[in-house]
Amino acid sequence: MGKNHSFAVFGLGRYGRAVAKELAANGEEVLAVDISEDMVNSVASELPFCKCADITDAEVLRSLDVGNIDTVIIAMASNLEASVMATILCKEAGVKTVITKCASEMGCKIMSKVGADRVVFPENESGIRLARNLLKQGFVDIADLSENVSMIQMQIKPEWAGKTLRELDLRKHYMVNVVAMVDTGVVDYDCDPDRILRPDMQLIMLAESSKLRALI
């Protein structure tokens, strides 16, 4: 799985597939699991880590090494019993964060009671939006300006401190455009390319959404 943060998506319907594909498109290695072999085969070309398995079986989850996965998204709102079992088993296995899709307010209450760290209504949060929220980790703030472009605010990386924007050439190495510097809470749009960056400063940048993970 990925070096920085590992993901698994259980249930490959429209919502689960959208989450998994968006994470994968941003460079994450995602374990995608569904009990339907046809469903798994339909996404295998786009999601290389696909398994056909019953995630309500503790032995199956152990064989998938789910305990070493940071975040599991359980996207089976239509099967409350399976969602409950998968949530309990994931938390017992040591999964840090379990996010469960729910079909009703009562379902959300039940999932929270059995250990889900977060519950989502697909009507309120699309699969793509959930994936992008998960990808925000490591940024101070982020906003999607369009389907392909984001504006991000992030802390100066340790290896950038003591250097200038001219020396770093972030556009060449990360495909981003610096639009402002944040110094002790003051936003400076001048962006002097020869100003020496300090560890406590932040940068506001425009970036292709698909390139964000390279910055972390």
Q: How far apart are CA 149 and CA 73, in angstroms?
A: 25
On the question of a common fold for 7-135 and 141-215, the answer reads no
Which is more confidently placed, 47 or 3? Answer: 47
Which are the contacts of 59, defined by CB distance < 8 A and separation ≥ 6? Answer: none
CB atoms within 10 A of CB 92: 13
Say if residues 132 and 19 touch (Cβ distance below 8 Å).
no
Pairing of strands 7-10, 71-74: parallel
The confidence band for 1, taking pLDDT boundaries of 50, 70 and 90, is: very low
Distance separating alpha carbons of residues 124 and 169, to the nearest angstrom: 39
- Give the start-to-end residue ranges of the domains of the chain: 7-135, 141-215
What would the two tokens of residue 153 be?
């605010």
- What pLDDT does residue 139 have? 60
| CATH no. of 141-215 | 3.30.70.1450
CB-neighbour burial class of residue 147 (10 A; exposed 0-12, middle 13-18, buried 19+): exposed
Chain mean pLDDT for the chain: 85
- Highest mean pLDDT, choosing among 5-14, 99-108, 115-124, 141-150: 5-14
- Range of lowest pLDDT (27-41, 88-102, 157-171, 179-193): 179-193
| Model confidence at 135: pLDDT above 90 | no
Tell me the CATH class for 7-135: alpha beta
pLDDT tens string 67-80: 999 999 999 988 88
Amino acid at 152: I
Whole-angstrom CA distances from 161 to 12, 96, 100, 197 are 43, 32, 39, 5
Burial of 68 by CB count in 10 Å (0-12 exposed, 13-18 middle, 19+ buried)?
exposed
The band of 64, judged by pLDDT with boundaries at 50, 70 and 90, is very high
Task: Kindly indicate the confidence band of residue 62, based on its pLDDT and cuts at 50, 70 and 90.
Answer: very high
Q: Are 67 and 94 in contact (CB under 8 A)?
A: yes
Q: For residue 31, which of 13, 12, 14 has the smallest C-alpha distance?
A: 12
pLDDT band at 133 (very low <50, low <70, confident <90, very high): low
164-216 pLDDT, tens per residue?
A: 999 999 988 888 888 889 898 888 877 899 999 999 999 988 888 777 767 76
The pLDDT value given to residue 77: 83
Q: How many CB atoms lie within 10 A of CB 185?
A: 6
Q: What is the pLDDT of residue 140?
A: 57
- pLDDT of 3 higher than 60: no
CA 124, 28, 157: angle at the middle one, nearest 5?
100
Cα–Cα distance measured from residue 76 to residue 32, given in angstroms and rounded to the nearest whole number: 13
**What local confidence, expressed as pLDDT, does residue 191 receive?**
86
Take residue 215 and report the two structure tokens written for it: 């910055």
0.85 exceeded by pTM:
no
Distance CA 8, CA 23 (A): 10
pLDDT band at 124 (very low <50, low <70, confident <90, very high): very low
pLDDT at position 189 is: 79
Output the pLDDT for position 187: 82
